[in-house]
């Protein structure tokens, strides 16, 4: 997990994902909250996904024109840029006197997770992984294809915007052509194909199509040459709004040429409000014996100086009650999810260490950890070409699930969630990209759950340590949204 100081504009951070009361659901995930707090006044958009308006380029201290060496950094940068674009929606999609406002966004990128022996730095079944696009040039700063789903609204309406992007070099590599317009077959797993025109964009050598759900209105105008705007087909809109998994596939057509290869696309990110997560836990796992919920930030009841979420852990561990209830684990920088051995050698996928305190008491068998992660390390990033944070790692036996709670920090966490081979039809995906990584901001007060055999990741973009609560579940949950025992 990680921390961002001005990640997205306030209206983008404020709204939790929608779970059960509104007819609209952003992602098709049963574990997201569907609370909708009503329209809010637009605020000045935050231009960059970084503190103090400084552009992020994970993996290098050089200008943004330099391509980081690692796939992990290029993937992180591509997702961060799309989240920025989603947050700045009013800047590139017009709408007259009632402009669109972005409430949430998820990025979906087809990748190939490398599953070798898998280093297990904590000896708990969590195995470090790396990602790649087999045969995709290392000189490419962007993935072959990227998909963005934006939950947007006007004063009285809500809907989805779907953005499809493909690299110009991808079209040239696969078809030997650079047409002004190509067609993409964008299909739900069980539905009929929908042909979408993708126009060449002036930005970064991309082909792009922007599809807008009809409920958002037909008076949208695209600013500049970002791509084409059209109504979001009813079938796709229904899949986005109402289904737990958004099962979509994509292939391209250029001058009558096509290949029977598909990119898997899904928009799912298993986050919910922390108090909702607690409410679904087994009753014996919800509370410590001293009465606090296991989602509570520890508090020194005898402290005389002011306490904030960011310093409460340090103050608690200095108190008698903290020392009696928890212990510091001997984890240090360099012992973390920083390395993988999936390519028959140990290589670096991230940089940064942790400081962890484990609570002695384990309610219902659930282990509760208070973990602080090292600040961003630009020098190490530049040396290794990787992001600061935790590299991709899967949850494995004996760990049945892990939940990260963003309750210490007052700003969002840039996190990723990964699933291997979600669709049988994608087993022959281009560049081996049969797996999917999705990205979203985990907001303050939210919990992000990863089940066994799935993967997660985060990047740190902060000048100081960032802390979180981690649950290692005592029993296998029913799902990411229902944490009761199977």
Given 2.60.120.10, 3.40.50.620, 2.40.128.20, 3.30.70.360, which CATH number is that of 273-419+442-472? Answer: 2.60.120.10
Q: Which residues contact 291 (CB under 8 A, 6 or more apart)?
A: none
Q: Which residues contact 90 (CB under 8 A, 6 or more apart)?
A: 42, 45, 99, 100, 101, 102
The secondary structure element, H or E, covering residue 424 is none
**Residues 386-430 pLDDT 10s:** 888 888 888 877 889 999 999 998 888 889 999 988 877 666 788
Count of other CB atoms within 10 angstroms of residue 404? 23
pLDDT of 321 > 70? The answer is yes
Strands (E), 4-129: 101-114, 127-128
* Alpha-carbon span 140 to 204, nearest angstrom: 11
The reply to whether omega before 398 is within 30° of 0 (cis) is yes
pLDDT of 250 > 70? The answer is yes
Can you tell me whether residue 7 is helix, strand or coil? coil
The secondary structure element, H or E, covering residue 201 is none
312/366: higher pLDDT: 366
pLDDT band at 180 (very low <50, low <70, confident <90, very high): confident
Q: Could you identify the residue written with the tokens 């960011």?
A: 310
* Alpha-carbon span 239 to 116, nearest angstrom: 34
Q: Which of 7, 49, 74 is nearest to 387 (CA)?
A: 74
The secondary structure element, H or E, covering residue 274 is helix 274-280
* Alpha-carbon span 341 to 75, nearest angstrom: 19
Instruction: Determine if residue 12 is left, alpha or beta; phi over 0 gives left, psi from -120 to 50 gives alpha, anything else beta.
Output: alpha
* Alpha-carbon span 465 to 94, nearest angstrom: 39
Say what the pTM is.
0.84
Give the pair of three-digit tokens for residue 249. Answer: 């596939």
Domains in the chain: boundaries: 10-115+131-265, 273-419+442-472
**Residues 203-227 pLDDT 10s:** 668 888 888 887 776 555 554 444 5
The secondary structure element, H or E, covering residue 139 is none
């Amino acid at each position: 997990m990680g921390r961002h100081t001005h990640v997205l504009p306030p209206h983008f951070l404020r709204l939790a994902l929608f779970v059960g009361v509104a007819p609209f659901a952003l992602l098709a995930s049963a574990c997201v909250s569907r609370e909708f707090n009503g329209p809010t006044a637009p605020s000045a958009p935050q231009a960059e996904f970084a503190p103090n308006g400084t552009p992020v380029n994970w993996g290098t201290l050089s200008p943004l024109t330099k391509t980081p060496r690692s796939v992990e950094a290029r993937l992180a940068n591509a997702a961060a840029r799309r989240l920025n674009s989603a947050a700045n929606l009013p800047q590139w999609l017009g709408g007259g006197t009632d402009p669109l406002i972005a409430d949430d966004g998820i990025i979906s990128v087809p990748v190939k997770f490398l599953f070798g022996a898998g280093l297990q730095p904590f000896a708990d079944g969590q195995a470090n992984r790396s990602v790649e696009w087999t045969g995709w040039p290392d000189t490419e700063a962007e993935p072959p294809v990227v998909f963005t789903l934006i939950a947007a609204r006007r004063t009285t309406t809500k809907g989805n915007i779907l953005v499809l992007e493909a690299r110009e070099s991808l079209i040239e590599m696969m078809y030997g052509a650079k047409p002004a317009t190509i067609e993409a077959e964008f299909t739900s797993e069980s539905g009929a194909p929908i042909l979408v025109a993708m126009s060449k964009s002036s930005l970064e050598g991309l082909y792009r199509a922007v599809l807008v759900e009809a409920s958002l209105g037909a008076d949208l105008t695209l600013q500049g040459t970002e791509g084409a705007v059209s109504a979001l087909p009813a079938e796709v809109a229904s899949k986005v709004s109402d289904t737990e998994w958004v099962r979509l596939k994509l292939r391209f057509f250029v001058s009558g040429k096509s290949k029977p290869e598909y990119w898997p696309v899904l928009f799912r990110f298993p986050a919910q409000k922390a108090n909702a997560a607690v409410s679904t836990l087994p009753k014996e796992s919800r509370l410590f014996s001293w009465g606090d919920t296991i989602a509570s930030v520890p508090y020194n009841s005898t402290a005389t100086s002011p306490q904030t979420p960011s310093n409460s852990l340090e103050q608690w561990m200095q108190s008698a009650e903290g020392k009696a209830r928890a212990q510091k684990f001997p984890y240090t920088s360099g012992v973390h999810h920083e390395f993988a051995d999936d390519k028959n050698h140990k290589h670096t996928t991230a940089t940064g260490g942790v400081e962890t305190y484990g609570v002695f008491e384990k309610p219902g068998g659930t282990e509760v950890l208070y973990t602080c992660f090292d600040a961003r390390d630009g020098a190490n990033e530049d040396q290794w070409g990787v992001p600061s944070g935790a590299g991709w790692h899967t949850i494995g036996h004996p760990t049945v699930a892990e939940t990260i709670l963003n309750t210490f920090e007052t700003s969002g966490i840039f996190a990723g969630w990964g699933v291997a081979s979600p669709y049988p039809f994608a087993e022959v995906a281009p560049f081996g990209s049969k797996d999917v990584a999705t990205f979203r901001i985990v907001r303050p007060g939210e919990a992000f759950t990863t089940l066994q055999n799935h993967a997660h990741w985060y990047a740190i973009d902060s000048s100081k340590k960032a802390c979180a609560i981690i649950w290692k579940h005592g029993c296998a949950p029913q799902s990411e949204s229902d944490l009761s025992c199977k």
